[in-house]
Amino acid sequence: MKKPFYIDITKNNLCKSVQSVVKITLLIAASCFYYACKNSSSSTETLSCSEFTIQDFSPITNWQKDSITHKTIFLDYNNANSGFIIPSIKDVPNGLFSFEFEIKNNTSSSQNLYYKIYYQNESYKFEEFDSVSMAQNVYAEENFYGSWENTSTAFKKITVANDNNFHKIEDAFRIVGNPRNEERYIRDGENNRWQRNPRVGKYSFLLVVATENDLKNIPSYIQNINQKNKEHFVNPYYFFRYGGGKDLKATIANTSQTELKAIAQPNLGAGIYIDGSRFGGEFDNSNFCATCGQDSNLYKNAPIQQFINYVDISTKMDNIPVIADILKDNYSKMDYNWNRSFYSKEELIPTILQTSKHPCTTVFSDPIEKKIIIKNPKTKFGEWKKESVGIITRHGFTYGKYRVKVKLTELLNKNNVWNGLTNAIWLITQGGGEWNFRRNCNKDGGYMATYWGGPNDKRVPAVDYSEIDFEILKTPPYCPDNVFPPVFKNTGDNAKNNSSWNIPLPEEITNADGSVTVACTNWDMACHEPKNFGVGCHPVPYQNQIFEAHRWDHNYRALTEKKEESDDELFGAEYFYFEIDWRPTEIIWRIGAEPNKMRVVGYMNDQVTSIPNNQMLLIITQEYHNTKWWPGAPYSQDNLPFPLNDIPGEIYDLTIE
Amino acid sequence: MNMQKKRLLIYVLLILSGLLGAYLFLRTKPNQSANNTVVTAIKKDSIIYISLLNEFFDFENNDGAFVSADVFSSGKKSCQLSPQIEYGISVTKIMKDIPSFQNLKSLTVSFNCQFRKDNPDALYVLSIDDGSGKNIHWDGQPIVFKSKNEWSTSSINFEIAPEFLNETNKISVYPWNRNKKDFFIDDVSIDYKGITVFNSTEKSVAAEKSNLYFDFETDTPVSGSENIKVTKAHSGTRAFDLSGGKECGPSVTKKLSELGNPFPKKISMSAWIYPLSDNPNLVLTGSVVNSKNETVYWEGKSTENKSFQKNQWTKINASYFLPVEKLAADDILGAGIWNKGKTDVIIDDLEIVYGESADRRGRASTIDPKAIYEKRFIGEKNKPPFQAIIFDKQEINNSDHFSITPKHKPNGTENFSPNDVYLVGDFFPDKYNLEEIICFKEKSRGMFSYSPESKQFNKLWENTVAADPLWNSNNNAYPGDFNSDGKTDILLVDKKTNMWKILNFNGKEWILVSEGKDPKKEWISNKKTNVAGIITPDDKLFPGNYTEEKQTFLKLNTEWRFDLKLLEKEDSEYLIIGNVDFKGYPKDYNPKYFEFVKLITGKFLSKEKTSVLIVMCNCADADFSGKKCDQIENLPFLPNSVQLYNISPQMTQIFTDKY
A405 phi and psi angles, rounded to 5 deg: -110, 115
Give the per-residue pLDDT at B341. 92
Residues A299 and A186 in one domain: no
Between B194 and B356, the more confident residue is B356
pLDDT tens sequence across B452-502: 888 889 899 999 888 888 888 888 999 998 888 888 999 999 999 999 999
pLDDT in tens, A235-265: 999 999 999 999 999 999 999 999 999 999 9
Instruction: Tell me which chain B residues have a C-beta less than 8 angstroms from the C-beta of A323.
Output: 388
Compute the average pLDDT of residues A195-210: 98
Confidence class for position B22, pLDDT limits 50, 70, 90: very low
Alpha carbon of A559: minimum distance to chain B alpha carbons (Å): 19
Partner residue opposite A334 with nearest CB, options B268, B366, B588:
B588
Domain boundary among A237, A263, A289: A263
B628 near A CB under 8 A: no
Q: Are A492 and A600 contained in the same domain?
A: yes
Amino acid in position B132: S
Share of chain B above pLDDT 70, in %: 86
Please tell me whether residues A568 and A450 are part of one structural domain.
yes
B99 pLDDT exceeds 60?
A: yes
- Write out A4-69 in H/E/C secondary structure: CCCCCCCCHHHCCHHHHHHHHHHHHHHHHHHHHHHCCCCCCCEEECCCEEEEEEECCCCCCCCCCC
B596 contacts A321? CB cut-off 8 A = no
Is the peptide bond preceding residue B385 cis, with omega within 30 degrees of 0? yes
Using pLDDT thresholds of 50, 70 and 90, give the confidence band for residue B315. Answer: confident
Count of alpha carbons within 13 Å of A534, Cβ hemisphere only?
Answer: 14
Pairs across A and B, CB distance < 8 A: 162
pLDDT score of B293: 87
Nearest Cα to Cα of residue B608 among B566, B650, B545? B545
Give yes or no: residues A183 and A302 share one domain.
no
* CA distance readout (Å), A646 to A57, A325, A522, A649, B91: 58, 9, 31, 10, 72
pLDDT tens digits, one per residue of A463-493? 999 999 999 999 988 776 555 678 888 898 9
For A54-73, write each residue's pLDDT tens digit: 999 999 999 999 998 999 99
How many domains is chain A built from?
2
Q: Please check whether residue A207 is in contact with residue A155, taking contact to mean a CB–CB distance below 8 angstroms.
A: no
Which amino acid appears at position B208 of this protein? E
Whether residue A138 sits in one domain with residue A227: yes
Residues B186-207, mean pLDDT to the nearest whole number: 58
Greater confidence, B42 or B367?
Answer: B367
| Higher-scoring residue by pLDDT: B636, A170 | A170
Please, what is the average pLDDT of chain A? 91
Residues A316 and A207 reside in one and the same domain: no
Q: How far is CA A510 from CA A505, B311, B549, in A?
A: 6, 21, 46
Test A488 with B357 for CB contact under 8 angstroms: yes
Together in a domain, A368 and A470? yes
Question: Rounded to whole angstroms, how far apart are CA atoms A191 and A546?
Answer: 45
Same domain, A206 and A324: no
Contact B479, B490 (CB under 8 A): yes
Amino acid at B589: Y
Hey, of A332, A338, A484, A538, which one would you mutate to test binding to chain B, going by the most B CBs within 10 A of its CB?
A484
Residue B222, pLDDT > 50, answer yes
Confidence class for position B60, pLDDT limits 50, 70, 90: confident
Regarding whether A36 and A85 lie in a shared domain, the answer is: yes
Q: Could you give the C-alpha distances from A150 to A141, A145, A506, in angstroms and in order?
A: 19, 14, 65
**3 state SS of A571:** helix
Closest chain B residue to A329, measured at CA:
B583
State the Cα torsion A19-A23-A25-A31 to the nearest 10°.
Answer: 160
Average pLDDT over residues A177-196: 97
Asked whether residue A249 falls in the same domain as residue A297, the answer is no
Q: Is A579 helix (H, G, I), strand (E, B) or coil?
A: strand
pLDDT in tens, B399-422: 766 677 777 767 777 889 999 999
In A, minimum Cα distance to B563 occurs at A342
Length of chain A: 657
Q: Are B233 and B239 in contact (CB under 8 A)?
A: yes
More confident call, A538 vs A32:
A538
On the question of pLDDT at A24 being above 90, the answer is: no
Q: pTM (2 decimals)? A: 0.79
Predicted confidence band at B263 (pLDDT cuts at 50, 70, 90)? confident
- For residue B618, list chain A residues with Cβ-Cβ distance below 8 A: 498
- CA–CA dist B56, B339 (Å, integer): 12
Q: Which domain does A503 fall in, by range?
A: 272-656
Residue A99 is classified by DSSP as E
**Beta carbons of B562 and A495 less than 8 Å apart:** yes
What is the band of B371 on the pLDDT scale with cuts at 50, 70, 90? confident
Find which of A316, A335, A489, A505 to mutate to test the B interface (most B CBs within 10 Å of its CB): A489
Is B118's Cβ below 8 Å from some Cβ in A? no
Q: Does the CB of B595 have a partner CB in chain A at under 8 Å?
A: yes
Torsion of CA B143, B146, B149, B154, to 10 degrees: -50
Q: Domains of chain B (ranges plus CATH)?
A: 48-196 (2.60.120.260), 203-354 (2.60.120.260), 387-658 (no CATH)
pLDDT at B11: 63
Most confident of B247-251, B389-393, B441-445: B389-393
- Terminal C-alpha separation, chain B: 101
Q: What is the pLDDT of residues B66-91, one digit of tens each?
A: 888 888 888 788 899 999 899 988 88
Structure confidence at residue B8 as a pLDDT band (50, 70, 90)? low
Q: What is the C-alpha separation between A526 and A557, in angstroms, rounded?
A: 4
Chain A contact present for B360, CB below 8 A: yes
Q: How far apart are the first and last CA of chain A?
A: 40
Greatest alpha-carbon span in chain A: 108
The overall longest dimension of chain B from CA atoms, in Å, is 112
- CA B285/CA B269 separation, integer angstroms: 9
Give the separation between CA B646 and CA B614, rounded to whole angstroms: 11
Mean pLDDT of chain B: 84
pLDDT reading at A4 higher than 50: no
Query: Going by C-beta distance under 8 Å and a sequence separation of 6 or more, which residues neighbour residue B310?
Result: B275, B276, B277, B278
A320 and A462 inside one domain: yes
At residue B208, the pLDDT reads 43
Nearest to A525 by CA among A468, A572, A568: A468
pLDDT at B656 over 90: no
Instruction: Provide, for chain A, the percentages of residues in helix, strand and coil under a 3-state DSSP scheme, each rounded to the nearest 5.
Output: 15, 35, 50
pLDDT above 70 (res B530): no
Positive or negative torsion for Cα A503, A509, A513, A514: negative
Residues of B in contact with A348 (CB under 8 A): 360, 365
Residues B224-260: tens digit of each pLDDT: 888 999 999 998 899 999 999 999 999 999 898 888 7
Q: Print the SS3 string covering B403-466.
A: CCCECCCCCCCCCCCCCCEEEEECCCCCCCCCCEEEEECCCCEEEEEEECCCCEEEEEEEECCC
Q: Hey, is the C-beta of B593 within 8 angstroms of any chain A C-beta?
A: yes
Instruction: Examine the domain organization and report whether A141 and A288 are in the same domain.
Output: no
Residue pair A590/A601 in contact (Cβ under 8 Å)? The answer is yes
Give chain B positions within 8 Å (CB) of A493: 358, 360-361, 560-561
Domain boundary, last residue among A207, A242, A263: A263
Distance CA A204, CA A120 (A): 5
- The partner residue sitting opposite B210, judged by closest CB among A342, A486, A490, is A490
**CATH number for the domain including A534?**
2.60.120.200
| Ramachandran class of A511: left when φ > 0, alpha when ψ lies in -120 to 50, beta otherwise | alpha
